[in-house]
Amino acid sequence: MNIKKLPHIVIVGAGFGGMEVARRLKNAPVRITLIDRHNYHLFQPLLYQIAIAGLVPSQIAYPLRTIFRDQKNITFQMGEVTEIDLESCYVKMDGSVIGYDHLILAVGGQTNFFGMNSIEENGFQLKDVENAVKTRNHLLKLFEQANREVDAEKRRAMLTFVVVGAGPTGVETAGALGELITHVMAKDYPHMDLDEVRVLLLEAGSTVMPAYPDELRKATADLLRKKHVEIKLNAKLTKYDGERVILADGGQIQTQTLIWTAGVKASGITARLGVSLAGSGRVRTDAYLRVPAHPEVFVIGDAAYVENENGQPLPMLATVAQQQAKFTAENIRRLLKAKELEPFRYKDPGLLATIGRNAAVARIWGLSFSGFIAWMIWVVLHIYRLIGFRNRILVLINWAWDYFFYENQVRLITKE
């Protein structure tokens, strides 16, 4: 068979959506070029564990060339796609031009600061490995500095940690930070007065975890308080200069740490496509996840705007990206056989978030769980979904160690 004559599928992005669609096209009669700016697939839901010194990056990221080593119909290219010409069917990557018969855009999202430059410049974010490591180093360095600071006011500002956004990422980060301080730092800095340490979770809305049912919101708030996290609702930020958070109601908080988890928007390349975009820069697709005027282009995952049967936009979640990927691979196989395509329907697998050791909330099969059972479900699912046997074992060992000995493993301050 002349491989060059096979339809060429270009997939941009090897996150949850891109990697899944590429895997599911294994053995399909196509040539696949998979492009990503990184040479690894990143398990983003555990990024906060890097920031709070629980895991190292190599435990939640896996080399793409290893993942696709045995897949004969795929070529991986590491590079940044900077231009996509939908009329002439090519993408530009670091100066190379790559033509396609079908394009699958799985470029994911980026942090949305809603135009608040001061927060973007001075705050921390959890969207990639570099920023998570930067956050870890910053947190650990602050403890070193606070430990020798004699001015009580300065010390309190160093020991005040603000997390913004009470969705799952903010809740997970604040809970884990609370635990790091009370269980681990308390042992490393025995002379530090822990009463001076504050972890604040700020939320512009009127509740934590707005997408969750009432009983789980209440359980989340209770669990967070047990981890010594102070929750401030209806707290809208306007500015952060690296020293002080300014709130819309005029309130101020002295802090050297602001971790922003309050917004995501589609990756920048979607804005340059010249197609119809919904809020947060997501590409509006038809029922088959295609760009309406370009049926040869599919958009999946965080970059796609798709509504459920009630007209609500699907959330930016790995579960959505993976289901869309599976679906797109099946539709491409149908296309190859000149069969009719199926419209996409999302099957909601439930909700799950952890708030630290022994504490999580879950909504599965119509039932709500909180506390230890939910946490066990969270641990099992996250270990199962991590790629690579070695990674699974290492993460499990780290967590077990942490669990039994209250000891986060990765407390090294490194050069970035």
Ligand X SMILES: Cc1cc2nc3c(=O)[nH]c(=O)nc-3n(C[C@H](O)[C@H](O)[C@H](O)COP(=O)(O)OP(=O)(O)OC[C@H]3O[C@@H](n4cnc5c(N)ncnc54)[C@H](O)[C@@H]3O)c2cc1C
Q: Footprint of ligand X on this chain (CB under 6 A)?
A: 12-18, 35-38, 44-45, 47-48, 80-81, 106-109, 126-127, 168-169, 267, 269, 301-303, 316-319, 321
SS (H, E, C) 168-237: HHHHHHHHHHHHHHHHHHHHHCCCCCHHHCEEEEECCCCCCCCCCCHHHHHHHHHHHHHCCEEEECCCCE
- CB–CB of 374/380 below 8 Å? no
Taking CB positions, which residue lies at the least distance from ligand X? 15
Report the C-alpha dihedral over residues 201, 204, 209, 215, rounded to 10 degrees.
100
Active-site hit among 172, 179, 307, 407: 172
Dihedral (CA of 53, 355, 375, 168) sign: negative
- CB–CB of 220/231 below 8 Å? no
Closest distance to ligand X from the beta carbon of 310 (Å): 20
- Burial letters 28-56, b for 16+ CB under 10 A, else e: bebbbbbbbbbebbbbbbbbbbbbbbbbb
Closest distance to ligand X from the beta carbon of 196 (Å): 28
For residue 240, list its beta bridge partners. Answer: 245
Which CB, 171 or 237, lies closer to ligand X?
A: 171
Closest distance to ligand X from the beta carbon of 150 (Å): 36
**Cα gap 133→329, rounded to integer Å:** 34
Which CB, 146 or 391, lies closer to ligand X?
A: 391
> Would you call 130 a catalytic residue per the annotation?
no
DSSP conformation class of 230:
E
Q: Strand, coil or helix: what is 22?
A: helix
Closest distance to ligand X from the beta carbon of 33 (Å): 12
Closest distance to ligand X from the beta carbon of 288 (Å): 17
Which CB, 255 or 319, lies closer to ligand X?
A: 319
Which CB, 243 or 348, lies closer to ligand X?
A: 348
Which CB, 17 or 281, lies closer to ligand X?
A: 17
Question: Quick one: the chain helix, strand, coil %, rounded to 5?
Answer: 40, 25, 35
Q: φ and ψ at 310, to 5 degrees?
A: -95, 10
Which CB, 152 or 211, lies closer to ligand X?
A: 211
Output the six-digit token pair for 133.
């490591």
Output the six-digit token pair for 41.
């697939």
Please identify every residue annotated as catalytic: 172
